[in-house]
């Protein structure tokens, strides 16, 4: 059962990572017993023999329950179209944005959300046949009126996030600020005016640095904040 | 300026070709990845005197919507030669040849792309030939597959292409314009090298069955070398990131 690429090495599409009885994780195509990379990215082999490729760049496909950071792209008669950094545009209906029904013949939807506004939303419906439906009718969701918007590769955000969520919590505890991480790769920082530059550097490391020992390094950076 | 006149001899008595190459030698090839900021993926290839830029956009929403397929993405490909790419000005309007090559290149790339991952969307490939010296379709395929990988589109394998042909009775690899024009046969081949599958095989001219087999072997040898160049080019782009992360 040979492994041709160890964890942490860079592969290109078509590279045969391993042969034999392993498990195919994400970013892997399998033909017979060969495990091949689908993306340009970094190999990650789990202790149980699951082979993954974390792509350097990939495309965000919405999933029900994902928190995403979107930008209003278009205002319709009864809905908004939202750019969620994906090939599929998000749809936000009035009923999912406002608590009371309104008379669309009298009220302009632009009064609530206008083109270019940034929102934090949740995906409530998506099946690849229809565009993803969003909602902002939950706590912590809704329009973002201040703060800083950062954009990362979606792949890095959702593969790395699970383990590094604690680091973000640590930052929040260390300095008074709020960090909203959208699964579509967009991150909103609220507050922390004086330490923005350091914070951007740390977040960049959290989402892009997976070299050995990086977690410890990031932690020490956070402590120095 | 390039001369289109037939050279006295396409193969010298020493067995060298018009540009001094051995029969089984590729032209010097350089691929650069990520040269266009606006595109999702891009690549530049220089193969001998060929110079081609490829831009990839997508997967993205498809307009007009009626073209969309419910179960997979579609690929749209435009191969275009700029007016100054050849000695005699070429009209910028798409010619019959360019339309056909667009289709041929699209069909060579489609088998490699995981289209089912992105229903109802489109992947757009734009190929601009800045300078042409024979073998532009194969160079375009080689560069386009690198640009697709750069765009983060999932692929079964890279697609690598090269032409083989017969000149003065000798099988030669990676034909240039003169050899293409005055040789006896020209056979472009595109492959997914790791999978060992052929995605494009065209042939113009006459080859015996034995010659065909040898030519295909020669093509595979060239493809293997080009495949390495593609991989190195892709990794080169992410070197600065990897180094920065090490700091």
Q: Which residues contact A32 (CB under 8 A, 6 or more apart)?
A: none
Domain with A40, as residue range(s), is: 10-54
Distance between CA atoms of residues B126 and B104, nearest Å: 14
Distance between CA atoms of residues A36 and A13, nearest Å: 7
Contact B120/B69 with Cβ under 8 angstroms? yes
Q: Which residues of B touch chain A, with CB atoms under 8 Å apart?
A: 58-61, 70, 112, 114, 117-121, 149-158, 192-195, 230-231, 234-235, 238, 241-242, 245-246
Phi then psi dihedrals of residue B58, to 5 deg: 125, -175
Shared domain check, A211 and A191? yes
Shared domain check, A136 and A167? no
Distance between CA atoms of residues A189 and A193, nearest Å: 9
pTM score of the predicted model:
0.91
Per-residue pLDDT of chain A (225 residues; tens, 9 = 90+): 788 998 878 899 999 999 998 999 989 999 888 999 999 988 888 889 899 888 888 889 999 999 999 999 999 999 999 999 999 999 999 999 998 888 888 889 999 999 999 999 999 999 888 899 999 999 889 999 999 999 887 766 655 656 677 788 888 888 888 889 898 889 999 887 778 888 888 888 887 776 667 778 888 888 887
Residue B130 distance to chain A (closest CA, Å):
27
| 3-class state of residue B56 by DSSP | strand
Contact A82/A90 with Cβ under 8 angstroms? yes
pLDDT above 80 for B114: yes
Contact A41/A27 with Cβ under 8 angstroms? yes
* Contact call for B245 and A211, based on CB within 8 A: yes
Chain A residues lying within 8 Å of B193, measured CB to CB: 14
Sign of CA dihedral A203, A209, A210, A214: negative
pLDDT band at B245 (very low <50, low <70, confident <90, very high): very low
Contact A73/A115 with Cβ under 8 angstroms? yes
pLDDT band at B86 (very low <50, low <70, confident <90, very high): very high
Q: Which CATH architecture has domain B29-246?
A: 2-Layer Sandwich (3.30)
The per-residue pLDDT for B238 is 78
Find, among A208, A152, A205, A199, the residue nearest to A178 by Cα: A199
- Count of structural domains, chain A: 3
Note whether residue A2 is domain-resident.
no
Shared domain check, A92 and A28? no
Distance between CA atoms of residues B135 and B138, nearest Å: 6
Chain B residues lying within 8 Å of A27, measured CB to CB: 154
Phi then psi dihedrals of residue B91, to 5 deg: -60, 135
Kindly give the residue spans of alpha helices, DSSP state H, lying in chain B: 96-109, 136-150, 177-182, 209-246
Residue A55 distance to chain B (closest CA, Å):
7
Distance between CA atoms of residues B145 and B204, nearest Å: 24
Residue A129 distance to chain B (closest CA, Å):
7
ipTM: 0.88
Shared domain check, A77 and A112? yes
Q: Give how far Cα B228 sits from Cα of A14, A152, B9, B159, B189, Å.
A: 12, 29, 32, 12, 17
- Among the candidates A102, A119, A144, a domain finishes at A144
Find tokens 């396409």 and name the residue.
B10
Note whether residue A134 is domain-resident.
yes
pLDDT digits (tens, 9 = 90+) for B129-169: 999 999 999 999 999 999 999 999 999 999 999 999 999 99
CATH code for position A33? 2.40.50.100
């Amino acid at each position: 059962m040979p492994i041709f690429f160890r964890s942490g090495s860079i592969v290109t599409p078509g590279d045969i990572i391993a042969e034999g009885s392993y498990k195919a994780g994400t970013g892997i195509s399998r033909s017979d017993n060969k495990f091949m990379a689908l993306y340009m990215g970094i190999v990650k082999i789990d202790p149980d023999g699951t082979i993954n490729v974390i792509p350097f760049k990939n495309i965000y496909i919405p999933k029900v329950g994902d928190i995403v950071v979107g930008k209003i792209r278009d205002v319709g008669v009864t809905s908004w179209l939202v750019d969620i950094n994906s090939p599929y545009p998000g749809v936000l209906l009035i009923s999912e944005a406002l608590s009371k029904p309104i008379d669309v013949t009298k009220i302009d939807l632009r009064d609530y959300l206008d083109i270019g506004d940034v929102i934090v939303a949740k995906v409530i419906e998506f099946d690849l046949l229809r565009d993803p439906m969003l909602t902002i009718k939950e706590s912590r969701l809704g329009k973002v009126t201040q703060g800083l918007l950062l954009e990362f590769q979606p792949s890095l955000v959702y593969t790395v996030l699970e383990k590094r969520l604690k680091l973000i919590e640590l930052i929040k505890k260390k300095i008074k600020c709020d960090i909203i991480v959208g699964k579509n790769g967009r991150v909103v920082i609220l507050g922390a005016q004086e330490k923005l530059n350091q914070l951007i550097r740390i977040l960049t490391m959290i989402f892009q640095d997976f070299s050995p020992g990086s977690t410890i390094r990031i932690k020490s950076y956070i402590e120095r904040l | 300026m390039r001369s289109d006149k037939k050279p006295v001899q396409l193969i010298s008595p020493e067995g060298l070709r018009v540009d001094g190459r051995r029969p089984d030698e590729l032209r010097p090839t350089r691929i650069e990845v990520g040269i266009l900021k606006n595109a999702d993926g891009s690549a530049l290839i220089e193969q001998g005197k060929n110079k081609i830029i490829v831009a990839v956009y997508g997967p993205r929403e498809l307009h007009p919507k009626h073209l969309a397929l419910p179960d997979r993405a579609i690929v749209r490909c435009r191969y275009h030669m700029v007016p100054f790419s050849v000695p005699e000005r070429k009209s910028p309007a798409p010619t019959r040849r360019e339309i056909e090559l667009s289709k041929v290149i699209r069909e060579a790339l489609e088998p490699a792309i995981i289209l089912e991952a992105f229903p109802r969307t489109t992947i757009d490939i734009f190929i601009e030939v800045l300078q042409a010296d024979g073998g532009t379709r194969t160079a375009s395929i080689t560069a386009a597959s690198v640009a697709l990988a750069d765009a983060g589109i999932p692929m079964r394998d890279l697609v690598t292409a090269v032409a083989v042909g017969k000149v003065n009775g000798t099988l030669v690899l990676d034909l240039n314009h003169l050899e293409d024009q005055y040789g006896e046969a020209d056979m472009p081949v595109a492959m997914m090298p790791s999978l060992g599958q052929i995605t494009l095989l065209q042939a113009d001219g006459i080859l015996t069955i034995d010659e065909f087999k040898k030519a295909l072997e020669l093509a595979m040898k060239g493809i293997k070398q080009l495949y390495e160049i593609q991989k190195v080019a892709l990794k080169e782009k992410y070197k600065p990131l990897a180094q920065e992360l090490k700091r």
